[in-house]
Amino acid sequence: MTSFWADHRGALFLFGVTTGVAASATVQYLRTLLFGPADHDFHGHTDHNKDSLQDPNQPNQETLARLERDFTLTTAQLQSLVKVFVNDMKRGLRSDTSVFKMIPSHVTSRPNGTETGTVLALDLGGSNFRVCEVNLEGKGVVRTRQRKFVVSDDLKTGTGEELFDFFADCVIAFLAEIKLPKDVNMKLGFTFSFPVQQLAINKGIAIQWTKGFTASGVEGKDVVGLLQDAFHRKGLKIEVSALANDTVGTLIAHAYVDASTYVGVILGTGTNAAYVERVDQIPKWKGAAPSSGEMVINMEWGAWGSEGVLLPTTSYDKQLDRASANPRAQIYEKMISGLYLGEITRYVLVDLISTGELFRGRGSAALAKPYNFDTANMSRIERDHTIELSDTRSVLEELSGIQHTSLADRRLVKRVCELIGTRAARLSAVGIAGVITKINRLDGCTVAVDGSVFEYYPHFANRIRDALREVVGVNAESIVLAQARDGSGQGAALIAAIN
């Protein structure tokens, strides 16, 4: 050891009298002499470790800067997208050739909070089927009793008659539970959250099954008629008075509580919006003008970006789209909805691992599996405010089996989640601002929002509000984003009651 200090006393002298870059280089020199090269010197990816002053507990700054360029939307971009959004809405109201289908819902009245009575509602959204008793008590007060039933895979893939008979049996079981006779005469609203060509308030042709349903004899048929036939077979005297989309139902349900509600939005596993439009602004509407002069429009806005609109997609978005079950479709939905946010994040993490920028290049089979990193993991990571990001460590260990992650790794993963979650919220704000701009409600409007992403994803609602301020300025203070839980069932009942 004596010979070492003798051999390198010149370097030690320099270390004592120099500062800045020279001192930094000397420190690195001594570190190498004493301890040998750093671990990363043995890896092929050294470009992002070239700064010897890089804090080992912080992510590489070049990596962060690149990701922030990819996923950050400027105010100017948001404002430009809103203009395109409004123009696409107008195209959809003129004809069915637009990326926005802008489907007239045949709902021409909104509740005012004074309605009273008891109505049944059925809500088929996927694997769960809900039967609800909705009591309208006036003054915007609603009381609901409900029961959930699980739709088995056999029913999903069997015959339509078996499926709709199951729905009727669920109604019978629910009536018995709330002590109402089987032959009670009541109105019923039916929320059917699958693509439908709506022909009347109580008539709609099923276009295509989704969400794992393939039951035969349903596509191309009137789903209200199928349900009414099942009721007749089972001896029920209930009248199916209204067919509703879940987003339309969310709007109508909240309008009962707040008369200034003109927009309903779903931000959950999927996404959609509905809003109140003046009939004279719907050139493609060929029916009689309703006395209200208005019509609720089901936008099907998740398809935005599928026909040439240049949404600010990244290479990761393009990878996800190519590998999806519906390439070049539902682009907007793939950028903002809960089904896809975790998958975009997974693509980013896999890429960072492949370049050695994350976990020292150590991947895992679990992380390589599509859709194995879901949006709930992102929520948990974004909610982690521990000093060592210990919950993030747990997520990564539980999910992928990756042990001994560094604090820098965990901070990088959290930042990826923040960037993708923030972009989703800001793009959601584009849609909301576009709708409100189109209907000239910037001076005041309530937007009823349902869905797990809006309700549970950390900071999502506030990020939407921040983006709205950037896009519409002080008018954003007049736009109320109201949580509307389980509005689809109540909405269907209200539609049955008032139309």
* Residue 330 Rama label (left phi>0; alpha psi -120 to 50; beta): left
- CB proximity list for 345: less than 8 A, separation 6 or greater: 373, 377, 378, 416, 417, 420
Angle value at C-alpha 491, between 95 and 339, nearest 5 degrees: 70
Contact 118, 111 (CB under 8 A): no
- Is 391 annotated as catalytic? no
Residue found under tokens 């584009």 = 430
- Is 237 annotated as catalytic? no
Considering 156, 211, 221, 234, which one is annotated as catalytic?
211
Considering 88, 123, 246, 321, which one is annotated as catalytic?
246
DSSP β-ladder status, 187-192 and 116-124 = parallel
Catalytic residue numbers? 211, 246
